[in-house]
Structure 1
Amino acid sequence: MMRWFAYALAPLVVLVIAATIASMLGYGLLWIAGDILPLAKVISKITLILLLLSIFPLKKYLQFSWADFGFAPKAIFYKQFGQGLALGVLTLLPVLLLLYWLDIHVWDDTRQWTAAKIAEKVGLGLFFAVLIALGEEILFRGLLLSGLRRKMPIVVAVTISSIYYAALHFLKSKSQIDYANLTPSSGLTLMAEAFTNWLNPAIFSALLALVVVGVFLAILRTRVPQSLGLCIGCHAGWVWQIKVSRDLFNVNLQADSLFLVNTYYDGVLGPLVSIWLVALIVYCLWSKLQSNACYGD
C-alpha cells in the first residue's frame, strides 16, 4: 500500500517541479520580451510544454515503447482515430442538444453569423481539438496510465490517472500582476495560488465530470492493448463540440436547469455530463459481463 502511495504521488512531484521551473522561466521570458502576455498565462503554457517534454526522458526511464503508450501501427491508428472521433460526437451531442432544449445554451444572436464564419469556427475548432487531445492523451492515457498499471491494480491506476487529468485543468491562477510590479518571486506566488485553486468549491462539479471523462477514456484505453488512437479521437470529438458550442451559443444564467452545468468552468461540464457518462460506463461494463456470461455458457 505504501508503494502505491509513493507511485501515486510521483506525478504530483513531476508537476510541482515543472510548475516551479515554469514560474522562473516565465519571469525571465517577460523580462527579455517585455509585456507581451500575462505572467499567469505564460507560466501555464510553459508548464504544459515541460510536461509534454517530460514524456521523452520518462519513456526512456520506464523503458516504454510507443506501443506501450497505446499507439497501434499507422493504418490502424488512423482508423481508431476516426472511430473515436465519431464516438466523441455521438456521446456528447445528446448532452448539447438537451442543454439547448432546456434553454441552458442559447444562440448568440448578438453576432452576425454566415456559413463561411461558422465553417471557419468548425474547422479551427477541430484543429485545436486534435492538438489538445493528442497531447493530453499521450500524457495521461499513454504515459501516466501505462506507468501506473505496471505498479498497481488497474482500477487504482485508472482512478489516479483520471484524478490527475481532471485536476490539471484547474491548475490556474486568475490574479493579474502588472508588468511594472513583476519580481522574480511573482511566478511562485501565482503558482501557489494555482495549486490552491484545487480547493475552490466552485470547481467541484466540473472537476468530478472531468474525473468521469478520464475514467471513460481510460476504459477505452484498457479494453484494447493499443487503442490510444481511439482515445485521442474521442477526446478530440468532445473538445471540438465544446469549442464550437461556446463560439455559437451563450450560457443562459437565468435557466431553471442551470445546475446541470458548471458555469465557473465552461458551461458544458457538470452534473449532466457526469450522469450521462456514468450511465454509459455502467452500460458498457454490464454489456461486457453479459458477453462473458454468454461466452462462458
Structure 2
Amino acid sequence: MKYLGYALAPLAVLITASALACVVGYWVVLISGDVFPLDKVIGKIGKLFLVLSILPLMYALKLSVRDLGFARRPVFFRQLLQGLGLGLVTLLPVLIVLYALGVNVIDVSGQWTPVWLFKKLLLSLLLALLISCAEEPLFRGVLVAGLKDKLPLIAVLLISSIYYASLHFLHSHSRFSYDEITFFTGFVLLGEAFANVFRFDNIPPFSALLMVGVFLALLRTRIDRSLGLCIGCHTAWVWQIKMNKALFNVDSGAEYFYLVSAYDGVIGPLVSVWLLFVIAVFWVVRKLRGAQRAHF
C-alpha cells in the first residue's frame, strides 16, 4: 500500500496542476476574448504549472539541485554536448531506416534555401532545448529523485516513464465556441484529455515514448548527476524529429508504414524495438564494467 501511495503521488500533482489550469484558463479566455481555443490555453497553462511545481516539490521533498541530477557547471555543459551526440547516434539510425524503407519521403514541394535551412536548424534546436529543459528536470529530476530511495529501480524507471509518456497524450478533441464556454467546460475537456491516454490507437506511440522515458531514466539513475546528459539526449531527439517533419513527408501507403504512428511520423514500433535493444546493450555494458572493476 505504501508503494502504491508513492506511485500515485505524482498523479495527484498532475491532477492539481490540470485543475488549476482549467480555472485559470477559463478566466484567460474570458478576458482575452475569442482568440485562442480553450483546450490549447489549458494545455499550455497546465504544462507551465507542472514546471513551476518543481520548486515547491523540491522544498517538500527536501531535494537539492544536486539531488535532481545537476552536475557542476563545467560538467553539466560537457554532459549536454555528450547527450547531443548520444541523441544523434540513437535516433539517426531510425530515421535512415525509415527513409530507406520508403516510409519517410523527401518533401519535393519544399522551397528550401540555405538561409531557410539554417534558420530551421537553429530554431528547431532552440525549441528542442527549451522543451528538454522543461521536461527533464521534472521527470528525470524531481520525479526520479523523489522515487529512487523509496522504490526498487525497475519501479522508478517504469513509473516515471509512464507519467512522461502519458503527458504527451493528454489531449481533448471537443471544440467549444466562445459563447458555449462556461466555468466547467475546462473540466469536461480535462476528463476527455485523461481518457485520451487510454485510446487503443495510442498504444504504439505510447509504448515508444515509454521506452524513451525508460532509457533517459536509466541514464539518470545509473550515471551520477547526469541530468545534463538526459537534457542533451532529449534535445537531439526532438531536434531530429522536428527537422524530419520539416524535410520529409510520411507515406501512409508505404509497406512498412506500421513501423511509425500518426503521432509524429517517427515514434512507433520501430523506435520501441530499437530503444529496447539500446537499453539492453547499455545494461549489459554497465554490468560488464562493474564486473571488471570488482575483479581488479
TM-score by length of 1: 0.97
Q: CA deviation at 1:262?
A: 0.9
| 1:83 and 2:82 aligned | yes
Residue 269 of structure 2 corresponds to 271
Residue 241 of structure 1 corresponds to 240
Q: CA deviation at 1:209?
A: 0.5
Match for 2:266: what amino acid?
A: V
The within-5 A match list for 1:245-256 is 245-256=244-255
1:102-122: per-residue Cα shift (whole Å, max 9, x none)? Answer: 111111122211111111111
Counterpart CA distance in 2 for 1:155 and 1:114 is: 47
Residue 113 of structure 2 corresponds to 114
Q: Between 145-154 and 39-48, report the one with greater CA deviation.
A: 145-154
Unaligned runs of at least 5 residues, structure 1: none
Counterpart CA distance in 2 for 1:274 and 1:22 is: 32
Residue 61 of structure 2 corresponds to 62
Q: Between 266-275 and 282-291, report the one with greater CA deviation.
A: 282-291
| 1:229 and 2:221 aligned | no
Deviating beyond 4 angstroms after TM superposition, the runs of 4 or more aligned structure 1 residues are none
Q: Between 153-162 and 67-76, report the one with greater CA deviation.
A: 153-162
Match for 2:200: what amino acid?
A: P
Counterpart CA distance in 2 for 1:199 and 1:162 is: 15
Residue 135 of structure 2 corresponds to 136
Counterpart CA distance in 2 for 1:20 and 1:98 is: 42
Counterpart CA distance in 2 for 1:108 and 1:17 is: 42
Residue 184 of structure 1 corresponds to 183
Unaligned runs of at least 5 residues, structure 2: none
Match for 2:111: what amino acid?
A: Q
Residue 36 of structure 2 corresponds to 37
Counterpart CA distance in 2 for 1:286 and 1:226 is: 21
| Fraction of identical pairs, as percent | 48
The within-5 A match list for 1:199-238 is 199-238=198-237
SS class of match (2:197) = helix
Residue 73 of structure 2 corresponds to 74
TM-score by length of 2: 0.98
SS class of match (2:115) = helix
Counterpart CA distance in 1 for 2:120 and 2:39 is: 27
Residue 291 of structure 1 corresponds to 289
Q: CA deviation at 1:296?
A: 3.5
Q: CA deviation at 1:150?
A: 2.0
Residue 282 of structure 1 corresponds to 280
Match for 1:203: what amino acid?
A: N
Counterpart CA distance in 1 for 2:269 and 2:77 is: 32
Match for 1:273: what amino acid?
A: V
Counterpart CA distance in 2 for 1:56 and 1:88 is: 28
1:7-65: per-residue Cα shift (whole Å, max 9, x none)? Answer: 10011011111111111111110110111211111000000011111111110111111
Residue 150 of structure 1 corresponds to 149
Q: CA deviation at 1:291?
A: 2.3
Counterpart CA distance in 1 for 2:136 and 2:254 is: 34
Counterpart CA distance in 1 for 2:267 and 2:155 is: 24
Q: Between 173-182 and 284-293, report the one with greater CA deviation.
A: 284-293
Aligned length: 295
SS class of match (1:113) = coil
SS class of match (2:105) = strand
Counterpart CA distance in 2 for 1:262 and 1:180 is: 35
Counterpart CA distance in 2 for 1:16 and 1:61 is: 18
1:218-246: per-residue Cα shift (whole Å, max 9, x none)? Answer: 11111222110000000000000001111
Residue 163 of structure 2 corresponds to 164
Q: CA deviation at 1:292?
A: 2.8
SS class of match (2:252) = coil
Counterpart CA distance in 2 for 1:228 and 1:293 is: 25
1:191-218: per-residue Cα shift (whole Å, max 9, x none)? Answer: 0000000111111010000110001001
| RMSD of equivalent CA atoms | 0.9
Counterpart CA distance in 2 for 1:86 and 1:293 is: 27
Counterpart CA distance in 2 for 1:8 and 1:38 is: 33
SS class of match (1:176) = coil
